Amino acid sequence: MKFSITREALLRPLALVAGVVERRQTLPVLSNVLIQVDHEQVALTGTDLEVELVGRTVASEVEVPGAVTVPARKLMDICKSLPDQAELRFSLEEGRAVLRSGRLRFTLSTLPVAEFPSIEDSAGDAEISLPRGTLKQLIDATAFAMAQQDVRYYLNGILLELRTNLVRTVATDGHRLALCSRPAEIQLESPRKLIVPRKGVMELVRLLDDSEEPVTLTLSASHLRAHTGDFTFTSKLVDGKFPDYERVIPRGGDKVFIADRAELRQVLSRTSILSNEKYRGVRLYLQEGNLQVMANNPEQEEAEENVAVEYAGDS
């Protein structure tokens, strides 16, 4: 294998792919990134057996096609350390990957390509296309409520619910719940519910932006595959049943107020400084035209702030 590529062409896909690679792995080869060179295309693959990401870029010149696996973090650190517009020359010499750039030379260890695992390529039974911006908004609006390492494993992720002309995401950790729905031009024979694991959600959102460029989702019983631009993302799904979230959403609320979003966020952020560190709770007292936010903690410290709101009703 022998090819040349610019630092910039390699760095962005490498940074995203290396994000999938965990620092501590049960298999040594999972700390590596798979580099496959064919014609002018360079494909980089990283996986942790649950999530897989393939990023593609274009080489400046390919002399000998081939494939190799090299340590992901070390390769990324090398690329970051190089000056802008630097040209990297890769070659495979005596079982080691040799990188040259100007007067620099790095020799990296490799592991056999045959040992590099890939997530099974299960046939998808449905495929939909969404704007990147829509999917990013859905994830951003709910991801904060995902559980972390909860014994109720089905809460450690986001519920992705797909219906004809509607996409919805739901996340909860048992204490709070976030739900976001967006209209979408999709057609499905029957509604689908998928639980995407936390790691998959965090890596998928890194591929998205606020543009109208499409992201194609391929759905199967055990996997979700997303293809957008030069990247293909695959994640195993959580095998479990998400709680019936519609039953826990309060109905018939009679107190509705309207507040400036940014101002209310700042007030909550300030008062929560003196809230109980375990529960991080604040109290809300609603009066006509005013919302009082209060917090206290076991040290008898208190915070109080008032914010103007549109409200006319009982206190």
- Tell me the pLDDT tens digit for each residue of 260-295: 999 999 999 999 999 988 778 899 999 999 999 999
Q: What is the pLDDT of residues 54-83, one digit of tens each?
A: 999 999 999 999 999 999 999 999 999 999
Residue range of the domain that includes 93: 2-115
Residue 93 Cα to chain centre, angstroms: 36
Q: What is the pLDDT of residues 293-302, one digit of tens each?
A: 999 999 999 9
Is residue 315 included in any domain, yes or no? no
Q: Where a domain ends, among 87, 115, 143?
A: 115
Is residue 221 included in any domain, yes or no? yes
- List of residues 6+ apart from 103 with CB closer than 8 A: none
Residue type, 96: R
Query: Which residue carries 């990401």 as its tokens?
Result: 53
Q: What is the pLDDT of residues 187-205, one digit of tens each?
A: 998 999 999 999 999 999 9
Residue type, 91: S
Long-range contacts of 108-115 (CB under 8 A, 24+ apart): 108/70, 108/71, 108/74, 108/75, 109/70, 109/71, 110/32, 110/68, 110/69, 110/70, 111/28, 111/29, 111/32, 111/69, 112/29, 112/69, 113/34, 113/67, 113/68, 113/69, 115/27, 115/29, 115/69
- List of residues 6+ apart from 105 with CB closer than 8 A: 98, 99
CATH value at residue 10: 3.10.150.10
pLDDT attached to residue 122: 67
pLDDT attached to residue 24: 78
Residue 233 Cα to chain centre, angstroms: 10
Number of C-beta neighbours around residue 193 at 10 A = 14
User: pTM of the prediction?
Assistant: 0.86
Same domain, 134 and 238: yes
**Which two tokens mark 160?**
């992705």
Q: Where a domain ends, among 115, 142, 163?
A: 115
Same domain, 156 and 228: yes
Q: What is the pLDDT of residues 98-118, one digit of tens each?
A: 999 999 999 999 999 999 998
- List of residues 6+ apart from 190 with CB closer than 8 A: none
Q: Where a domain ends, among 60, 93, 115?
A: 115
Domain count, the chain: 3
